[in-house]
Amino acid sequence: MEADIVGKASPYLLMLQSKSMVLKALLCLSLISFFSCMNKQHFALAASVSSNPETKEEAEALLRWKTSLSNTSQDFLSSWSLSGRPCNWLGITCNEAGSVKGLNLTSIGLRGTLDDFKFSSLSNLSFLDLHDNELFGNVPSHISNLSKITFLHLGFNQFTGRIPHEVGKLVKLNVLSLSTNFLQGSIPSSIGKLTNLSTLHLGINQLSGFIPPELGKLKSLRELRLNLNNLTGSIPASIGELIGLKVLSLYGNQLSGPLPQGINNLTNLTLFFLSNNSFSGPLPQTICHGGILQDFCASNNRFVGTVPKGLKNCTSLTRLRLDRNNLIGNVSEDFGIYPNLDYIDLSYNNFHGEVSPNWAKCQLLTSLKMSDNLISGEIPPELGESSLLHVLDLSSNNLVGKIPNELGKLKSLFNLTLSNNNLSGAIPTQLGTLPDLAYLDLAANKLSGPIPRELGDCSKMYYLSLGNNELHGSIPFEIVHLISLQVLLNLSRNWLTGEIPWQFGNLLKLEVLDFSHNKLRGSIPSSFEHMQSLRAVNFSYNDLEGPIPSSKVFEEAPIEAFQNNKGLCGNHSGLKTCPPLQNQKDQCSVLLIVTPIVGASVLLSIIICVACILYKGRKKSGNELRDSSQSNLFSIWSYDGKLVYEDIREATEGFDMKYCIGVGGHGSVYKAELSTGQVVAVKKLHSCLYSELEKKTFKSEIWALTKIRHRNIVKLLGFCSHSQESFLVYEYLERGSLANMFKDLRQAQDLDWTKRINIIKGVSNALYYLHHDCKPSMIHRDISSSNILLDANYEARLSDFGTARVVKHDCIELTGLAGTYGYMAPELAYTTKVTEKCDVYGFGNMLLKDLLDKRLEDPTPEVAEEILTIMKLAFTCIDVNPQVARQSTETRTAGSHHQCQAFIPLPTRPQQTGQQQPATGSYLLVLQITHEHTHIIQKMHQPRPHSKSRSHVLQQTSHYIK
C-alpha cells in the first residue's frame, strides 16, 4: 500500500518528503553526538575526582580525626562518610578543583583533641573555625602545616598547655583567636612574624610573662585582646607603633608602670581597656585625639594627675570608667556634654567641685556614679530630666541640701545611693512612685521627718537602708508590703518610736534586719519566727521587752544584738528565761498584773472580783457566751463536743514551728493530732489588740461561719479568741493546698486534666453557695490556689474565706485590701466597694494562672473542648472595663484582653465593668451545661477545615498564660 501512495503522489511532494526525512536524520545524529560527549565528560570528571589522590587523602584525614572524637561528636558528623564526597560533608567548603578549603564546625558540641588531625593532608585549607566546642588537650605544633591558612579560630574550648612557637609559621594568617581556653606560659615572640595579622585574640586564658615587644611589628593589626590573663611588666613602647589599632584590651592582668608615650599615637582607637591592673602615672592627655573613642576603661589602677583634656570634648564616648584611681580635678569643669554617653563611673578618686546640671543633657545616660570623692554643693534638680537613668550613686561625698523631688521623675531608676553625705530635710514621697526602684540607700545623712509611707509601693525593693539619720515617728505599716526585700532592711540609729508591726514577719526573703538605736517599744513579734532567710538581726538600744522569737537566728545572735532594752527574755544564753504563761488551764487569756508598792492590795481585790465574774460567765449557755464580750474563758464549738485548749497546745508543743504547715498574711497553720486521734488544722492568727466591740464582732462573724455546711468548703470546727493567742480550728485536708501541689512537678503532673476540671467545678459550687445560698451572702475576697485545699480524693475545699472580714482591718497584710496580689479584681485598687464580683475576678484569674497549666500532656479531644469552654469563661470573669481604672490599669487590662482575643474566639460583647461582671450563678450554669452535654462536645472535637486543632490552640493559650 505504501508503494501505491508514493506512486500516486506528485514529484514535488516526493521531493519535500525526502528532504524532511534527511533533516530528521541529521537532527537525531546531532543529539546523539551531543549527549555522548556530555556523558564522556561527566564520567571523565567523576573518574578524575575519585582517582584524585589529594582529595582522597583529605577525606581520609578528616575521617581519621572524626573517629578520634567522642561518640556523640561522631553522631554530629554523620554526613562524613566514604559514601559521599567531602565537599558535601557538614561544615566543609571546597575550591573549584574539589579540594577542601574551609572547615567550619562551630558550636556543635564536639569533644576530643586535635592530636589525630593530620593537618598536612589539608594543604589547601585556608579557613578553620572550631570555636565554642569542648575540644581539649594541647594546640598541636603540627598545626603549622596549614601553610595557606588565613583564619584560625579555636576559642571557647578547653585547650591547655602552651601556645606552640610554630604558630609563627602561619604567615598568611589574618585572624588568630585562641581566647577563652586554659592556655598557659608566655606569648610566643614568633607571633611577631605574622605581619598580615589584623586580629589577635588571646584573652581569658592563664598566660603569663611579658607582652612581647615583637607585637609592635604587626603593622596591619586592628584588634589586640590580651585581657584576663596573668601578664606582668609594662606595655612595650613598640605598641605605640600600631597606629591602625582600633581595639586594645589589656584589662584584668598584673601589668604595671606608666603608659608608654607612644600610646598618644593610637588615634584610631575606639575601644581602650586598661582596668584592673597596677598602672601608674598620668593618663595620656591626647586620648580621643582622633575623635572616635567610644569606650575607655581605666578603673582600678594607680593613675594620678588630672583628667585628660582630650576627654572633655570627646562626644563619641559611650562608656567611661575612671573609678578607683588617685585622679584629681573639678567634675563640673573637666567633663563636657556627651550626647552618646551611656555609662560613667568616677568613683573613688579625689575629684572636687559640684555635680553639674549638664549631666542631664546626656540624654542616653543610664548610669552616673561619683561616689567617694570630695564633691560638694547640692544635687541639681535637673537630674530629674535624665529619663533613662537606671543608677545614680553620689554617696560618700560632701553634698548638702535636700533630696530633689524631681528625682521622682526617673521612672527607670533602679539604684539610688546617696548615703554618707550631709543631706537634710524629708525623704521625698515621690520616690515611692518609682516602679523599678530596687536599691535605696540614704543612710548616714541628716534626713528628718517620718519614713514616707509611699515607699511601700516600691514592690521591687530588695535593699533599703535609711539608718543613721534623724527620722522620727513610727515605722509605717506600708513598709511590710516590700515583700521583695532580701539583702538588707536598716532603720537603725534614728528616733523611731511605737511598736514593730508584726507583719514584718511576712518579709520571708529578708537576710539582714537592723532596728537598733531607736526608741521602739513593745515586743519583737513572734511572726519573725517565720523569716527563715534571716541570718543577722540587731534590736539593741530600744525599749523592747518580752520574749524573743523562737528561731535559730535569734537564739544564736550575739548578745549585743539585744542589749540595752527594757526587758527582753527568751531562749538565749545572754538573756533571762521568760516567765511561763499563767492560768492556762482555767482561762484562755493571760492577765497583765501590775504590782506597784502603792495600791497593791487594791489591785489584788480587783483581780479577784474579775476572776469571779469570769467564772460565772463559764456557766452561761453557748448563745450567752456568743453575746458576751467580757468572757475570757476558752470555748470551742464542734461536732465532736468541747475540745480542750491544753490538748491543742500539747499537740503542737506550744505551736512549735515543726508543726507549721503553712504561713499566710493573717496567720500560721499548724497540724495538730489531738489526744482523741482526730487531726485538725489550727490557724493561729497574728496577734492584734481588739477593742471590746471588735471582739464581739469577731465572735459574731465566727459564729456565722460555723453555720456554713458545704462539701466544697472547709469545715470550721471552732475558735479561740483572746488578746494574745487567737486561732481557728478547721478540718485537716491530706493533700494540702493547690498552690503547694503546683510547686512540686510530680504532684502537678498527677493533677491531670480531669482532676483539674473537677476542682474548678468544686470551687464554682462553693462560690455559688456563698454568694446565693448563704443569707446574708458571704464574700471570700481572696480566691487563689493558696486557699484551695484538696482531700485524699482530690476533692476541692475552699478555705480561709471571710478571714479578711473578721480580722481587724488595720492588721491585715494589705492595708484596706484583702487578697492575694495577682488575683484581686483591679477595681479594688481604685475603689473601696467590695462585691461578689471580686470573687468572680479571682476565680477567673486562678483558672488562667494555675489550673490551665501547660506542663501536662495534651488532653483528649473531649476534655480539650471542655477546657476551651472553661477558658472562655475565665476570660469573661476577668474582663473589666478599663475606662473606670487608672491609666496603668487601663493599659494592662486592655492589653491583656487584646492578647486573649488572639488565642480564644470570644463572642463579641460590650465591655463589662466591675458592676457588670458575671455573677457566680452564670459561671456555675456554664460549668453545669458543659458537664451535662459532654456527649455533644465529643462529636465536636474534630478540627474544622482550615483551622488549628483544639490541642494546638490549648497549647498556645497555655504558653500565653505562663
Residue 436 is a catalytic residue = no
Tell me the pLDDT band of 868, cut-offs 50, 70 and 90. low
Quickly name the fold that domain 50-160 has.
Answer: 3.80.10
Cβ-defined contacts of 531-540 (< 8 Å, 24+):
531/504, 531/505, 531/507, 532/508, 533/486, 533/508, 533/509, 534/510, 535/511, 536/511, 536/512, 537/512, 537/513, 537/561, 538/492, 538/513, 538/514, 539/515, 539/565, 539/568, 540/516, 540/564, 540/565
pLDDT of res. 889: 31
So what's the pLDDT on residue 30?
52
What pLDDT sits at residue 662? 76
pLDDT at 665: 56
- Of 901 and 231, more confident: 231
Q: What is the C-alpha separation between 542 and 213, in angstroms, rounded? A: 66
Q: Where along the chain do the CATH 3.80.10.10 domains lie?
A: 50-160
DSSP 331-395: TTTS----TT--EEE--SSEEESB--GGGGG-TT--EEE--SS--EE---GGGGG-TT--EEE--
Of 288-292, 437-441, 596-600, 901-905, the poorest mean pLDDT is in 901-905
Q: Provide the pLDDT confidence category of residue 600 given band limits of 50, 70 and 90.
A: very low
Q: What is the spatial distance between Cα 403 and Cα 947, in angstroms, rounded to a whole number?
A: 60
According to the model, what pLDDT value does residue 521 have? 94
> How is residue 16 written as a grid cell?
519535500
* Cα–Cα distance, 636 to 418 (Å, whole number): 55
CATH 3.30.200.20 range(s) for the chain read: 630-732
Tell me the C-alpha distance between 693 and 196, whole Å: 91
Q: Are 239 and 216 in contact (CB under 8 A)?
A: yes
Q: What is the pLDDT of residue 709?
A: 73
How many other CB atoms are found less than 10 A from the CB of residue 772? 14
The reported pLDDT for the residue numbered 22 is: 45
Q: Which position has the higher pLDDT, 790 or 840? A: 790
Predicted TM-score (pTM) of this structure: 0.60
Q: Is residue 774 predicted with pLDDT exceeding 80?
A: no
Under CATH, what is the fold of the domain 744-962? Transferase(Phosphotransferase); domain 1 (1.10.510)
pLDDT in tens, 452-477: 999 999 999 999 999 999 999 999 98
Tens of pLDDT, residue by residue over 312-334, are 999 999 999 999 999 999 999 99
pLDDT band at 944 (very low <50, low <70, confident <90, very high): very low
Closest of 738, 726, 729 to residue 681, by C-alpha:
729
Is 808 in contact with 795 (CB distance < 8 Å)? no
pLDDT score, position 651: 86
Distance CA 827, CA 885 (A): 7
Q: Which of 342, 345, 782, 800 is flagged as catalytic? A: 782
Rounded-to-integer distance, Cα 506 and Cα 510, Å: 9
Per-residue model confidence (pLDDT) at position 587:
37
Alpha-carbon gap, residue 394 to 402, rounded angstroms: 13
pLDDT band with cut points at 50, 70 and 90 for residue 34: very low
* Annotated binding-site positions for ATP: 684
Q: What is the reported pLDDT for 722?
A: 59
**Residue extent(s) of CATH 1.10.510.10 domains in the chain:** 744-962
Q: Regarding beta strands 788-790 and 796-798, do their DSSP bridges make them parallel or antiparallel, or are they unpaired?
A: antiparallel
482-491, 606-615, 761-770, 950-959: which range is least confident on average? 950-959
Above 60 in pLDDT, residue 592?
Answer: no
pLDDT at residue 678, as a whole number? 82
Residue type, 298: A
Provide the H-helix boundaries in 464-599.
552-555
| pLDDT confidence tier of residue 668, bands split at 50, 70 and 90 | confident
Lay out the sheet containing 716-720: strands in order across: 660-663, 667-673, 679-685, 727-731, 716-720
Closest CA to 700 of 816, 802, 586: 802
Q: Which positions ≥6 away from 673 have C-beta within 8 Å?
A: 651, 679
Contact 716, 705 (CB under 8 A): yes
Give residue 44's pLDDT. 34
What are 96-147's pLDDT values in tens digits?
Answer: 988 999 999 999 999 999 999 999 999 999 999 999 999 999 999 999 999 9
User: Using an 8 Å Cβ cutoff, are 469 and 494 in contact?
Assistant: yes
The answer to whether domain 630-732 has CATH 3.40.50.300 is no
Q: How confident is the model at residue 648 (pLDDT cuts 50, 70, 90)?
A: confident
d(CA 525, CA 612): 32
Contact 135, 112 (CB under 8 A): yes
- Per-chain mean pLDDT for the chain: 76
So what's the pLDDT on residue 810?
39
Distance CA 341, CA 337 (A): 9
pLDDT value of residue 834: 55
How much of the chain exceeds pLDDT 90, in percent?
A: 48
353-394, pLDDT tens digit by residue? 999 999 999 999 999 999 999 999 999 999 999 999 999 999
Burial of 638 (0-12, 13-18, 19+ CB in 10 A): middle
State the Cα angle at 753 between 749 and 756, rounded to 5°: 90
pLDDT recorded at residue 704: 59
| Residues in binding site | 684
Between 640 and 776, the higher pLDDT residue: 776
Per-residue model confidence as pLDDT tens digits over 544-556: 999 999 888 999 9
pLDDT at 959: 30
